[in-house]
Each structure stands twice: as C-alpha cells, then as structure tokens.
Amino acid sequence: MEEIYDVVIIGAGPAGLSAGLYAGRSQMNALILERGQDGGQIAITDSIENYPGQAVQGESGPELVARMAKQAEGFGAKRASDSIQSVELKGDVKVLHGVKQDYKTHNVIIASGAHARPIGCENEGVFTGKGVSYCATCDANFFEDFEVYVVGGGNSAVEEAMYLTKFARKVTVIHRRDELRADKHVQEKAFKNPKLHFMWDTVVVALHGEGLLSSMDVKNVKTGEITTIEADPDDGMFGLFGFVGTVPNTKIFEGTGLEMDERGYIPTDQDMHTNLPGVYAAGDVRVKSLRQVVTAAADGAIAAVQVEKSMSNY
C-alpha cells in the first residue's frame, strides 16, 4: 500500500526542523524533505548571538542547526533528500513530485526558506564564484589578505562584513544610503572595527576582469558620478559579497492556487494556515515582520501543532 504521510515538511531550516520535532513528538507520520544541506541560511551564518538558550559565548549556525536536526530525528521525524519539482496542493491528499519520487500527504508545511538576492549589476553572473559571493562563511578564507567589498546595509551585510575582517586586510561596505539599516548595537561594533570602511550613497553597476574579478564600476546615487575601482596590482583581484536581501523559494508554488504576495512570500494567519486547507507556511518563506531563527522555530512549532489538531478529520 502506498504510504500517505500525515505531514510532509518542505525544508530543513529552523522552521522545518522545529515543525518536524513537534510533529514527531506528537507521533505523527512526518517526513522532512530537504534538497540541500540542513539549515538554509543559518547554515552559512558564522555567528549566532541572539537565539534563546544558545551557548552564551556564541556559536555557529551549523552547530545550532545540527542539534535541531538531531532533536527532530530523535522524536521520530523521517528524513529524505529530494528536490520537489511540482506540487498538487488541493484535495485531501496532496502530491509532491520530486526528482527521486512522489510523496503523498494529508498536510504540507512549506518551510522552503529564501535565498540571497543578486546585487543586480552587469556581469554579476560571470564572476559568481570568481570573486563574487553571497556567503562569507563559505568563501571568506579564499580572500585572506585581499581587499573585499560588501554590498548592503542591513544586519546581515554588516555582520558578515565584520566576519570578513578576520580574513581580508581591508573590508569596505558599499551602501546606497548615507546611513546603515542595521541595528544600533551592530553598527556600534562595526564602526569600532579598524579594518572596516564605508562607501556611502553608492551602488555597484558593472564588474570586469579576465577570468577573476579585478575591477568594478560604482555610481554615486546623488551625483551620478561613475568611479572605477581597480584591484591592487599585487593581488590581481578582490572579493565582492552581496547581502541585499532575500528572495523566497516559492517558484514551484506558482499556478497551484496558493496565495502569494507580489514578492513571492506566502501570507498566513497567526496559526500558519495559508489559503489552502491542509497547507501551512513557516519561517522566512512567510509574510512576516521579523525573519530570525527564533521566529522561524516558533512558526514551525505552531504549524505542526495545527496539523495535529486537524488530524481528527482523517
């Protein structure tokens, strides 16, 4: 007989793992699907400082998410590695079509998260992996003793820029405004860092180089002036890291009847219900005011509890 799960959770970030923990603890037949590594964006975060109950001295994203995964599996949540290509979300039994196989379930918790938004400059794709990166934790060591530039002005940009100062000899934050959007305590730490510099009212417009990124054109948004930044001749290249926001991983849900906003985020009520019965959304993929590990974990827990309450219908 073909297995029909009580709930399938798409994504193994903090929201998905929290949902799996609660679903497993409630003795539901739950499956967590993940196409890549556990953790989503937290997996590429060097330092977590504000998750309640974490190690006081701080810890890395991979360390925290590894414990979350063990907890979820400890309570009986099943795991599978697959990439969902399309979905059928209407009706009592939903079908998720993966690369490896199809999955049937009465309930779906969408915890697919979000990914880094491109910087939006000319030749960006040409130099991705050849000087351009979106993950300081992944690639900082490649730029040891080099100059590095970071595009963005929010918490992620500033925190990752500070992390990069451990490797690069100089880090410059490029921001389109004349002040940062990061939290004040984050800004205070950044301004005290002697290796961290700032380029205000500026955007990157084009990248250049022979194989590796070695120059870029930047524009002052107030004056319109274009300036070309060249790599140090002794280096022959520099690094450019983009932290300008995120894009939700919701492409596969287009045309399924699932409501999404103009940016692709999924609206829910306070109990994580979407507009489709038996379909819930949790974490960064959801329309919300704060995208943090703690709110993602809470979303996942709420969604799983709501699924448990609905199980009396089957």
What is the 3-class SS of the chain, one letter each residue? CCCEEEEEEECCCHHHHHHHHHHHHCCCCEEEEECCCCCHHHHHCCCECCCCCCCCCCECHHHHHHHHHHHHHHCCCEEEECCEEEEECCCCCEEEEECCCEEEEEEEEECCCEEECCCCCECHHHHECCCEECCHHHHHHHHCCCEEEEECCCHHHHHHHHHHCCCCCEEEEECCCCCCCCCHHHHHHHHCCCCEEEECCEEEEEEECCCCCCEEEEEECCCCCEEEEECCCCCCCCEEEECCCEEECCHHHCCCCCCCCCCCCECCCCCCECCCCCEEECHHHECCCCCCHHHHHHHHHHHHHHHHHHHHHC
Whole-angstrom distance, CA of residue 261 vs CA of residue 184: 30
Catalytic residue among 38, 46, 139, 299: 139
CA dist 234 → 43, 150, 157, 172, 214 (Å):
33, 21, 27, 19, 11
Residue 121 annotated to the active site: no
Catalytic residue among 135, 183, 217, 235: 135
Contact, 183 vs 199, CB < 8 A? no
Residue 139 annotated to the active site: yes
Residue 138 annotated to the active site: yes
Catalytic residue among 138, 178, 232, 269: 138
Task: Name the residues annotated as catalytic.
Answer: 135, 138-139
